[in-house]
Amino acid sequence: MTYIDVNELASRLSYNPRYITNRLRPERLTEGRHFVRPFGGRKVLYIWEAIEEDMLEEAGAAIPMANGGICNG
């Protein structure tokens, strides 16, 4: 597994690090699957393979809706 910090993730996804921290992590990413807090600290390391897998899975199976949501049907 590849562990990366928020700045590395931001550069790979072309997002602002603050957007990842404030919006993406609370709404879409799960602790233990997408990120970990080593040694119970404040530092967050993201698991690149899990994030990439979920991105590719969602991209193929979802139908975008006008309100910004997705339909999985």
In a domain, 8, yes or no: yes
pLDDT score recorded for residue 72: 67
pLDDT score recorded for residue 61: 62
Domain, as residue range, for 23 = 1-50
Altogether, the residues listed in the chain come to a count of 73
In a domain, 61, yes or no: no
pLDDT score recorded for residue 59: 62
Domain count, the chain: 1
What is the pLDDT tens value at each position of the chain, 73 positions in all?
Answer: 899 999 999 999 999 999 999 999 999 999 999 999 999 899 999 999 999 998 887 666 667 788 877 776 6
Please spell the DSSP secondary structure of 3-65, one letter per residue.
Answer: EE-HHHHHHHHT--HHHIIIIIHHHH--BTTTEE-GGGSS--EEEHHHHHHHHHHHHHH-EE-
In a domain, 68, yes or no: no
In a domain, 41, yes or no: yes
In a domain, 69, yes or no: no
pLDDT score recorded for residue 49: 97
Q: Which of 63, 52, 50, 43 is nearest to 13 (CA)?
A: 52
